[in-house]
Amino acid sequence: MSRQSAGTAFAALLRRDFLLAYRRRAELLQPLVFLLVVTTLFPLGVGPSPQLLANIAPGVIWISALLATVLSLDSLFRSDYEDGTLEQMVLSGQSLALIALSRTVAHWLVAGLPIVLLSPLLALWMNLPEEGMSILIKSLVIGTPVLSLIGAIGGALTVSLKRGGQLLSLLVFPLYVPLLILATSAVSSSVAGLPYTGQLGLMFAGLIAALTLAPFATAAALKLSLS
Amino acid sequence: MNRLYLFFHKTGSPPWFYRFSGYLIPWLWVTFVVLTAIGLYLGLVRAPADYQQGESVRIMYLHVPAAWMSMMIYGLMAVWGFIALVWRIRIMEVLIISSAPVGAAFTIIALITGSLWGRPTWGTYWVWDARLTSELVLLFLYFGVIALYNAFDEPRKAARAASLMAIVGAINLPIIHYSVLWWNTLHQGSSIGSSGSSIHPSMLWPLLIMAIACKFFYGANLLSRSRLRLLRQDHRKRWVQELLSEES
């Protein structure tokens, strides 16, 4: 077997993940339906007052996005672990961090990006003022990759456990705190007519930090789970 | 062999660690009890009541050291975890998981004493203030590490997973702290920092003595827990069998 270049391996993995995702379309829809259902519960729970909903909209949408992401994270490495693909990937001689990054990118494209695309609908339901709409989308575009990157560490740590799903949420939710604070504050500030670029800038810094550090932690966690 | 190298290898060996910590533990406990007695006497009897907070200020002598410990122990867990992952030293794997319950307990103590103090002073048991919130998140991080460890059957694998989680959490902890600080703050700022202290010596001394006493408590508790864990993990190995036949 000749050793492929890193770029070829990355592209091949991405292609494989898309194909797998396409063949399991119904599974992909679940977190998105979940997102819609959870967001629907909030107006039912706190009352339909437009002003109240507008106030809590950024938080509700972001928390629903967190929950939906964590729901999809459990399956991130699971099937590859169970059928032995993961072992083959480790043996392939490619950098495991690169493999982890490719899986994470694929996860964001099939689980994170749809959340971004659905967010205008959620904003409409939650009566978010129009000024906040573009910032909400921006915050999700910057933030959801971070959710995938950090979540992948948790997914890799719990992949060898039989019921890793609950543990996964316990592990990653505390790590999502800064992101949630910054994102909701950016959206609320923009609605209030205050500057919000600082929050978005910090989120972007977080994205870069997660992009450079998280794949290595994920790789270490994968190696550990396979040992 | 180089002296330091030798010490390094010795400390990493469970029988040696067991023996060495056995000598150390009584001294740690004694120092802890003596320091706590002095610290509590100075803090509860000798130190003056605060002109604003009254007698309730005395809870600080437990609250502040516990809060310091909660953060220090998490940081130490990341250090033990790093050593455990890089050099595969088994003692470190035992240390990290023995640290977690102690750290979680200090976090809970800091939260409870803080909320008891908050009731007369701020007028409420709980507010979503930055420090309270980051302490609560820290508690969840501790729970995460403990839960992850318990989820694995094999202790060494469990300890390595917990180590990795502790490191990831420790990198995130300052980010969480500053983001929460910026989100909402009501808590008074630190009175003791690198630039000196704004507390009167009569209050500062008991506080510092209590802080040091807590460190001795951590040391004694950590070593006792680690010894027990080592015995349980190694109960079939020869050194434990020999130890048991020696003692009986």
Extents of the domains making up chain B: 28-45+58-185+200-231
B128/A contact by beta carbon, under 8 A: no
- The answer for B 154-173 residues in CB contact with A (under 8 A) is 157, 160-161, 164-165, 167-169, 171-172
Residue type, B247: E
- Residue B185: its chain A contacts at CB < 8 A? none
Over its C-alpha atoms, chain B yields an Rg (Å, rounded) of 20
* Residue of A164, A177, A206 lying closest to B180 (CB–CB): A177
Q: Which of A33-37, B88-92, B169-173, B183-187 has the lowest mean pLDDT?
A: B183-187
Q: Do A182 and B152 make contact, defined as CB atoms within 8 angstroms? A: no
Q: Give the pLDDT score at A1.
A: 47
- Which of B241, B99, B231, B110 minimizes the C-alpha distance to B165? B99
Mapped onto helix, strand or coil, the DSSP state of residue B192 is: strand
Q: What is the rounded distance in angstroms from the CA atom of residue A152 to the CA atom of residue A222?
A: 10
Q: Do A170 and B143 make contact, defined as CB atoms within 8 angstroms? A: yes
Q: Which of A196-200, B8-12, B69-73 has the lowest mean pLDDT?
A: B8-12
Reported as type and span, the H/E element at residue A27 is helix A25-46
Q: What is the rounded distance in angstroms from the CA atom of residue B207 to the CA atom of residue B40?
A: 9
CB pairs under 8 A between A and B: 69
Q: What is the rounded distance in angstroms from the CA atom of residue B234 to the CA atom of residue A162?
A: 26
The DSSP 8-state label assigned to residue A112 in this structure reads: I
* Residue of A161, A175, A220 lying closest to B164 (CB–CB): A220
Work out the minimum CA distance from A224 to partner chain B, whole angstroms: 7
Q: Do A167 and B151 make contact, defined as CB atoms within 8 angstroms? A: yes
Q: Do A157 and B144 make contact, defined as CB atoms within 8 angstroms? A: no
Angle at B92 between CA B88 and CA B97, to 5 degrees: 120
Mutate to test the interface with B, among A150, A159, A168, A171 (most CBs of B within 10 A): A171
Q: Do B140 and A206 make contact, defined as CB atoms within 8 angstroms? A: no
B141/A contact by beta carbon, under 8 A: yes
pLDDT values of chain A reduced to their tens digit, one per residue, 227 residues: 456 688 888 888 899 988 988 888 888 888 999 999 999 999 999 988 989 999 899 999 999 999 999 988 888 888 889 888 888 888 888 889 999 999 999 999 999 999 999 999 999 999 888 888 999 999 999 999 999 999 999 999 999 888 778 899 999 999 999 999 999 989 988 888 888 888 899 999 999 999 999 999 999 999 988 88
* Residue A184: closest C-alpha in chain B: B183
Mutate to test the interface with A, among B133, B148, B177 (most CBs of A within 10 A): B148
- Residue A167: its chain B contacts at CB < 8 A? 144, 147-148, 151
pLDDT at B193 over 70: no
Tell me if B74 sits within 8 A of B166, measured CB to CB. yes
* Residue B159: closest C-alpha in chain A: A224
- The model carries a pTM of 0.89
* Residue A176: closest C-alpha in chain B: B176
B1/A contact by beta carbon, under 8 A: no
